[in-house]
Structure 1
């Protein structure tokens, strides 16, 4: 969970605007999140955990508050990156709908993402992009398992100083999700040997997996950083919406993190290329 929360906090804020920034920054802080056990779950959990803060602005590998990625191709308005995402573990004993079923192991999602910049302001402080990530999900355990594929096309809008909030950065992104049957079955399938009262057998199909929209707000101060996010998930119209494990068609996740930055490189780079 601590490793995954690190990925969550890296995604709370936005890439820096066009400016000279240290090639790397290191810090540490604390984050609090409240999230459903999984998309569509009735139960939710809250976590208060230490959080690493790390930014690296390399020519190929980049890790910042927009995520972790490796630039595979850069053609101006079109970039091909390698991106990461993740999901938290869920104990079946703590979730009434999954009691008697195997625990959901934490999963790491990794794969290529095509980022197409559709528009950028002259001052490079606002931008609209189309993102096309295709990721494979693999469980994090002693014997990792591939549990399916996820395609999450969406629009991403980023801007500095929204509504006159100087120094703050706002981001809004979202769109539809599509998953194959393996991915859907991992979260929403019920095998015949897992049938229980109120939980009939269910073969989860692949296809449309609902929508997801996220808003982030953050600010980098001289020695510390603060950021928060609000995410809405909808399973309305999802191919697996009739699964007995889907108890909520809509869900909200929220998080806040504060990190003290105690180290930075003396070498400066143009952070504007991160967009």
Structure 2
């Protein structure tokens, strides 16, 4: 599965770069950071327990002038995410709730870079654990502290359609008990996140990547009787390699 996703990322990145000349990007190159790491965060949306899982990374996709790391203009790249399984037996607060398998989300991310700023939007469709649609919109600002160390500060809003939100935040009649009433939820924004990301270059193309996220459930998701903690922090550490495609 991981190898298939990695190949899909490379293929989509190459295809995106191949379209560059049609949109006036001739003379630039398309680059993206790809890698793997560890993600420590809530084991399911709304959980107050942390769990470590794999982090399949791509970051900073976009067009640059040769020799520059500043992404300029529009770029399209794959977007994916993994959501851990939810098992009622692991938490007394979930007694009587249906188990949810781990979910794999696949979709697209569109970004626009202008100097140190990058705005982005992503949309993904879930498989296995949920079959809904989810994604984010947001912006990041880049600060170069040295030739090797760069920081990104970001804000984003997460979204889920009715199927997604109902899977993780809904309670049906069969699951309702005293203190956990039935709860019907529709689509909408469900999470606001502040993030801080650091990239330290080991070589010209290889770098260490770290990210701290501080998320908070919002809207109807935050009011769900299933939610044990509205605050959803996460820590990610990994290693990436830069891939570039010149046109």
Q: State the TM-score, normalizing by the size of structure 1.
A: 0.63
Give the whole-Å Cα distance in 2 for the aligned partners of 1:155 and 1:176.
Answer: 10
Q: For the structure 1 residues 36 and 169, does the alpha-carbon distance in structure 2 shift closer, same or farther, using more than 3 Å as the test?
A: same
Note the 1:1-275 alignment, pairs <5 A: 31=38, 33-42=39-48, 44-47=49-52, 65-66=58-59, 77-117=73-113, 119-120=114-115, 127-139=116-128, 147-161=131-145, 164=146, 166-222=147-203, 225-236=207-218, 238-257=219-238, 270=244
Residue by residue, what CA displacement relative to the aligned partner does 1:32-69 show, whole Å, maximum 9, x if unpaired?
x4312223223x1233x7x698xxxxxxxxxx6418x8
Q: For the structure 1 residues 138 and 174, does the alpha-carbon distance in structure 2 shift closer, same or farther, using more than 3 Å as the test?
A: farther
Q: For the structure 1 residues 149 and 217, does the alpha-carbon distance in structure 2 shift closer, same or farther, using more than 3 Å as the test?
A: same
- Look up the match of 2:10: none
Q: State the TM-score, normalizing by the size of structure 2.
A: 0.70
Question: Which moved further from structure 2: 184-193 or 242-251?
Answer: 242-251
- For structure 1, the residue ranges without an aligned partner over 5 or more in a row are 8-19, 54-63, 121-126, 141-145
Higher relative contact order (CA 8 A, sep 6+): 1
Q: For the structure 1 residues 25 and 138, does the alpha-carbon distance in structure 2 shift closer, same or farther, using more than 3 Å as the test?
A: closer
- For structure 2, the residue ranges without an aligned partner over 5 or more in a row are 7-28, 64-71
- Look up the match of 1:10: none
Q: Which has the higher helix share?
A: 2
Question: Which moved further from structure 2: 187-196 or 207-216?
Answer: 207-216
Give the whole-Å Cα distance in 2 for the aligned partners of 1:52 and 1:175.
Answer: 19
